Structure 1
């Protein structure tokens, strides 16, 4: 963890992980920061480098929800100035069926 002015700074990925695990009861959660692939883009400037993420999440809370509602559930929890978020959201049953 970095610090600024005596305060510890928690990365956006860690904040996202903490929130999604607790609120959506995620059994699988993978967060990949791909901001480096977008260096130099106008939207990245001034964002401290944490602007683009890929999220793979498995949650029983997605049961009965279509893909748009699942993505909204994830995005509603992450309203924090992200520029881009790629989401793969599945239920535990969907994961088991694809094995």
Structure 2
């Protein structure tokens, strides 16, 4: 099972209305086919009433093994269903990598 598949499976514990896990490793200076940089967009009722820090902590707890191992970076975009609708169901673009490039 790929790291991306594992992340998706573990995040299903939050019973998301919407879940997108995107491997953005190709945008960084890592070997081909790496699974080190991910962007997660998750919409779930279980996030209601939680401040952003608490939301992130829930994700970090679920993905502790991956964050201790193969995952170097994790961009989190976490919404309640109401916040998701208000955002226009918009997922922010990730910034371009600023480090690790060859000179």
TM range (shorter): 0.7 to 0.9
CA distance in structure 2 between the aligned counterparts of 1:29 and 1:54, rounded to whole angstroms:
11
| Unaligned ranges ≥5, structure 1 | 1-9
- Larger strand proportion, structure 1 or 2? 1
Compute the RMSD of aligned alpha carbons: 1.6
Match of 2:63 in 1: 78
Find runs of 4+ consecutive structure 1 residues off by over 3 angstroms. Answer: none
Distance change >3 Å, CA 36–CA 97, structure 1 → 2: closer
Bigger radius of gyration among the two? 1
Structure 2, unmatched stretches of 5+, are 89-103
Q: Following the alignment from structure 1 to structure 2, what is the Cα–Cα distance between the partners of residues 98 and 51?
A: 28
Match of residue 21 from structure 2: 31
Confirm whether residue 15 of structure 1 aligns to residue 16 of structure 2.
Answer: no
TM-score, normalised to structure 1, is 0.76
The size of the alignment, in residue pairs, is 83
